[in-house]
Structure 1
Amino acid sequence: MNKTRLHYIHDPLCGWCYGAAPLVKAAREVIPVLPRGGGMMTGARRQRVTAELRSFVMAHDVSVAQASGQRFGEGYQEGLLRDATAVFDSEPPTAAMLAAEAMAGRGLDLLAQLQTAHYVDGLRIADRAVLIEMAAAIGLDPEGFAQALDQQLGGPVQAHIKDSRAFMAQVGAQGFPSMVLETEGGLQTVNVSSYLGRPQDFQAWLRSRTPSTQAAPAFGCDADGCAI
């Protein structure tokens, strides 16, 4: 049985994870991708938007945009990052991903939608109403999603984050985003930064390590003899 898959350690509020979004999209066309939300801004690490946070974040965003080509929108830069009433909290959007995954295997689809909502449109993706709206935008039933979200909030999402942190410790991952390729041969850490802005190269690298993409042994006979 082919065990090849890509573990994706991320956070919905991590700008570099937004930069890595094209890599995730490319990877999903090749192998299964298992998202692991690490809870970068949860509990005591939740942060209200301040001038200091804005300056810190925007400096990183410039680097992300240069390295990845990802666009940061005016709604985010001039809206959300200037809204002193907004709170950055990773737990609700991570729970929303778990809910989307439980409903329809759409956790990564919802993550992509939430990243655009946050980094382009400047929406508060920790707000319940926004999460339900974004789930509906990818085709999930709003009422069913709201129920699924309630089931993931609190203990379940916290357990998921704890498990993700334990996996990070196991593989020596230092932050977000981190990717670990799992094959029959074990776990291999991926140098994500070297592929930013190069999703096709990343996809090609993954294909070269995916058994199902390797050429099948020749079968049959031709004029010069048999291949088996």
Structure 2
Amino acid sequence: MSTIKIEFFHDAVCGWCFVIAPRLYALKDEPGLEIRHRSFVLQMSRDAMVDRFGSMPHAKDTILHHWKGCAEAEDTKRINIEGMRRQTFEYPNGRLSALACQAAQMIGGDEGHGRLFDALQYAHLVDSRNIGDRQVVLDIAAEQGFCLKEFTQCFEADAPGMLQADIALGQRLNIRFTPTLVINGKWILSGAVSPDILRTSVEKARSTAEV
């Protein structure tokens, strides 16, 4: 049976990534299926957030409105909109989390990357923690069992270049949104597609690969 490689382009602050991740992981036991995590940050800085939304307060209001759609769509209800609304910190961009995920990738491969990405998303969307704060991100990495000395070294030295490589790959594939799934380098699914569409797409990719 042919191998199916799914590249999951994601941003830790993206609610729709939180919706699709469990649907994707439900396929992980499919024969020959490999999930490759890729970081793709939509806004890399506070300035980019302001450019996109006009102001940081408006960014938070707009994004929490989007969260309502995510909360309605998720299969198991977890998203805590009011918890985030009560927080006084500015809505974070995904840069620090993406760097952390790249450090996790270097140390623990795709398993480590995925484990930390999921933990960062849960911290952000359920526990209302500030993943725009470097210490919070490092704390979450420690909670996931990473050695902080090794992790911090990778975070500072290797992760920036790895992140740029993921972003450059996404740009070459004309990715504009998260989540985006790329199946075998050519089948592209954007958004939090349904479990049925996801499974059907994998089956089509497999049948094409076997021809």
Same fold (TM over 0.5): yes
Letter of the structure 2 residue corresponding to residue 132 of structure 1? L
In structure 2, how many angstroms separate the alpha carbons of the residues matched to 1:156 and 1:201? 31
Aligned to 2:124: 118
Q: Give yes or no for contact 1:11–1:177 (8 Å, CA) kept in 2.
A: yes
Specify the code of the residue in structure 1 equivalent to 2:6: L
Tell me, what secondary structure is at the counterpart of 1:115?
helix
Superposition map of 1:13-28 within 5 A: 13-28=13-28
Q: Any unmatched runs of 5+ in structure 1?
A: 215-228
Return the TM-score normalized by structure 1: 0.74
Would you say 1:141 and 2:150 are equivalent positions? no
Distance 1:90 1:194, change over 3 A: closer
After TM superposition, the structure 1 = structure 2 runs for residues 102-181 of structure 1, keeping only pairs within 5 Å, are 102-105=106-109, 106-167=112-173, 169=174, 173-181=175-183
Unaligned runs of 5+ in 2: none
**TM-fit CA distance, 1:42:** 0.7
Q: Please state if 1:95 is matched with 2:99.
A: yes
- State yes or no: 1:45 paired with 2:48: yes
How far the C-alpha of 1:111 sits from its partner, in A, is: 0.6
Q: Distance in 1 between matches of 2:113 and 2:160?
A: 18
From 196, 202, 209, give the equivalent of 1:206: 202
Partner of 1:226: none
Task: Say whether the 8 Å CA contact 1:26–1:202 is kept in structure 2.
Answer: no
Q: Distance in 2 between matches of 1:154 and 1:100?
A: 12
Looking at structure 2, the residues matched to 192 and 46 of structure 1 have their Cα atoms a distance apart, in angstroms, of 21
Provide the rounded CA distance (Å) in 1 between the counterparts of 2:190 and 2:166. Answer: 24
- The share of aligned pairs that are identical, in percent, is 22
- Is 1:86 the counterpart of 2:93? The answer is no
Which residue pairs with 1:187 in the alignment?
186
| AA aligned opposite 2:48 | R
- Verify the 8 A CA contact 2:177 2:191 in the aligned structure 1: no
Deviation at 1:161, TM superposition (A): 1.8
Structure 1 counterpart of 2:78, from 58, 71, 79 = 71
Q: Which runs of 4+ in 1 moved over 6 A?
A: none
| Structure-2 separation of matches of 1:192 and 1:89 | 19
Flag the 1:174–1:163 CA change in 2: closer, same or farther, 3 A: closer
* RMSD of aligned residue pairs (Cα, Å): 2.8
8 Å CA contact retained: 1:97, 1:111: yes
**TM-score, normalized by length of structure 2?**
0.79
